[in-house]
A and B are shown apart, each in its own frame.
Chain A
Amino acid sequence: MQKTRRNLIIIEIVGVLLALLWLSPFYLMVVNAFKTKREIFEGVLGLPQALTSDNFVQAFEDLTFIQSFFNSVIITGMSVGIIILFSSMAGYVLARNKSKLSGVILLVFVSAMLIPFQSVMIPLVALFGQVDMLNAAGLIFMYLGFGCSLSIFLYHGAMTGISVSLDEAAIIDGANRFQTFWYIIFPLLKPISVTVAILNVIWIWNDYLLPSLVLGEANATIPLKMFYFFGQYTKQWHLALAGLTIAIIPVIIGYFFAQKQIIEGVAEGAVK
């Protein structure tokens, strides 16, 4: 028993050291974001001589951070909202309709997940360009198209746990289909809605390529703005690192408050 105890302590120490190694890129980023250009040139491993916020102030302004943050929030929020609403509706009727056709429709959605973005992006941009939809609204609609497959699949799976007798009771009580769905079924799907929301937020918040093809610089999301910003400050690491630090702060804050749900949601999305 004593031997297992000692082993556990050794494993614990190894684990903590590994975690520190894992965090070291973030540590190096933050520490060097406080340095001047000259200090970085002299060495990146030491601590900064003085804690000045100059780099952060300039990066914050050049990133037009408040603007880009709100662009990201609006695009992610709207996209995830409509993905949840429309995918849950689809998952619901596909689960309740036991016909062959319903199975085929589900299969089409699931198969569409095989298509990589690069295989459709050129005609997609051309088509949306023709109808003047290369803007935030078009982008949100595109996210629905790309994101609904996995979400429908997850909702469809979750529906198996919700008895048909609930629908029947509601219909007898005089509810129509939409009321049945909205007041009875949708609330019961809440756990899977959380999973769907988490998976889609992680993806859309961080997405770079699609917004770069669709949005102009005025509507740029954080990753897009970060790309322009980085190009502007190549080899000026003190500013670039301050910008990168600012860009990940919202994600770290979100993770801090919802880490349990995030890890569970991601596990559920992957294992299904």
Chain B
Amino acid sequence: MKNRDFTFWLFLTPVILGLSLVVVIPFIYGLFYSFTDWNGIKATTFLGFENYIKLFQDEEFRAALWFTIKFSVASVILLNILGLILALLVTRKLKSSNFLRTIFFMPNLIGGLILGFIWQFIFVSVFDDIGTALGIEALSGWLSTTNTGFWGLVILTCWQMAGYIMIIYIAYLQNIPNELIEASQIDGASSWQRFRNITFPLVAPAFTISMFLTLSTSFKIYDQNLSLTNGGPYNSTQMVAMEIVKTAFNENQMAFAQAKGVIFFLIVAVIAITQVYYNKKREVDM
């Protein structure tokens, strides 16, 4: 098929229109407006980098960014450990393997907003009741402090996404040839040695995928943040995505929020690109 072919362009028209009108043009407009005093309808003056300078001085944005980074680091580590453990568990020859897989994956199908509401009940009411019954004070008052809000979000995210990460690891675990495992057993390798020297290196590509996925997903989380803590107490558990939405639609500072959106894009893009690059390199080295 040639570039000049009418059908080539005809078949591409709907998606090109879709991507342009929904993503590309708004993105370029947004980039332009972030340098102005745009209020969502019109822009009167060109401000240069003023919005960007203001943004780095904005306590709330900096706090949200720092909270998001801490949250993402904790989630990525825990999710990958948990996902791998679940995958190792269900790929054993267990009678309940399929059932377990189904259960662990289930939360992933339900929206973050709904799950956040359910866990709000668990953290606030159920934890409190268990704490009172067992005399554990640490279980009461969850979500009312920054620290419990943080761990609440991490627990919710792990519970929701671990099954997804499990699926990715399963795909790789099942590709490990049986002969390798048998050969190592004959050579007298312990299960830890087998994991360390056979399973782990062969599953390494799965880390590329799941680290990329977990990092970018946790960085962009909004729904769970909204329904579980709504940023509280005092905006201390507010993540970047939520901070941008609030600046735009609650405070009506469109140009300022757009500048934050541009910075948000740059961070997400840099993470994604470095990670793909780093993981490709490491895979080759191995």
Contact = CB atoms under 8 A, between A and B. Distances in A.
A21 to B, nearest CB: 9
A75 interface: no
B202 interface: no
Contacts, number: 257
B284 interface: no
A69 interface: no
Contacts of A96: 1
Nearest to B125: A44
A263 B271 CA distance: 28
B278 interface: no
A67 interface: no
A117 B220 contact: yes
Nearest to A148: B15
A195 to B, nearest CB: 13
Nearest to A40: B125
Contacts of B102: 255, 259, 263
Interface string A94-125: 10110101100100110010111111111110
B170 interface: yes
A11 B89 contact: yes
B264 A119 contact: yes
B90 interface: yes
Interface in A103-162: 105, 108-109, 112, 114-124, 126-127, 141-142, 144-146, 148-149, 152
Nearest to B130: A45
B198 interface: no
B27 A115 contact: yes
B215 interface: no
B15 A118 contact: no
Nearest to B265: A119
B23 A146 contact: yes
Given A119-B261, A230-B227, A223 B113 contact: yes
A18 B114 CA distance: 22
Shortest Cβ-Cβ A-B pairs, 6 listed: A145-B22, A206-B111, A123-B26, A145-B18, A86-B14, A119-B261
Given A90-B12, A123-B29, A270-B167, 10 more contacts: A8-B92, A22-B107, A28-B122, A118-B241, A124-B26, A206-B223, A227-B227, A237-B121, A263-B102, A266-B164
Interface of B: 1-3, 5, 7-8, 11-12, 14-16, 18-27, 29-30, 33, 40-41, 86, 89-90, 92-96, 99-114, 117-119, 121-122, 125-126, 129-130, 133, 159, 164, 167-168, 170-171, 209-210, 213, 220, 222-223, 226-227, 240-241, 244-245, 248-249, 254, 257-258, 260-262, 264-265, 268-269, 272
Interface of A: 8, 11-12, 14-16, 18-19, 22-23, 25-26, 28-29, 32, 40, 43-45, 82, 86-87, 89-90, 92-94, 96-97, 99, 101-102, 105, 108-109, 112, 114-124, 126-127, 141-142, 144-146, 148-149, 152, 177-178, 181, 202, 205-209, 213, 223, 226-227, 230, 237, 240-241, 244, 247-248, 251-252, 254-255, 259, 262-263, 266-267, 270-271
5 contacts: A12-B96, A141-B18, A230-B117, A263-B102, A270-B168
